[in-house]
Amino acid sequence: MSLYQIMYISTVTGTVTPDDCATIAREAAVRNRRDDVTGLLLFNSRRFLQVLEGPKDAVERIFARIYDDSRHRGVVKLREGAIVAREFGQWAMAYDDPCRPSDSLKDVVAALLTSAGPSTSAHFLGSAELHRPAA
């Protein structure tokens, strides 16, 4: 079966709380599993960065729904195309929780990236790093 991957960034509209993130992630997990789509969604209090991978039809259909979601804007694809293997075999989500130090986001993301390629890792680690408060 041929696999397809889309990676995009976007900016949150209004305020999205950790609770909202949990809701988005929970709903996405159920729907994506049904379509055999895996990936990673990262939220760092202002921006989303997501990878979707799986059958081309399903990835494109899910992305079209996400694109129209009013909870974010400025959706920009960073990468799109066929892949030989999944970089994220399971669905995963990481977000900045105000109750936890930001360093932990980077640690969580690093752990999730163990099977990802160098270019994907660079995007996600850069994004997790971006919003660390000054020491």
Q: Which residues bind ligand FMN (CB under 6 A)?
A: 24, 27-28, 31-32, 41, 48, 50, 52, 62, 65-66, 69, 71-72
DSSP H stretches of helix in 40-117? 56-67, 103-112
Minimum Å gap between C-beta 135 and ligand FMN is 29
Contacts for 28 with CB less than 8 Å, ≥ 6 apart: 41, 91, 93
**DSSP H stretches of helix in 16-117:** 18-34, 56-67, 103-112
104: amino acid identity, one letter = S
For ligand FMN, the closer CB: 31 or 56: 31
Judged by CB, which is closer to ligand FMN: 21, or 108?
21
Whose Cβ is closer to ligand FMN: residue 66's or residue 113's? Answer: 66
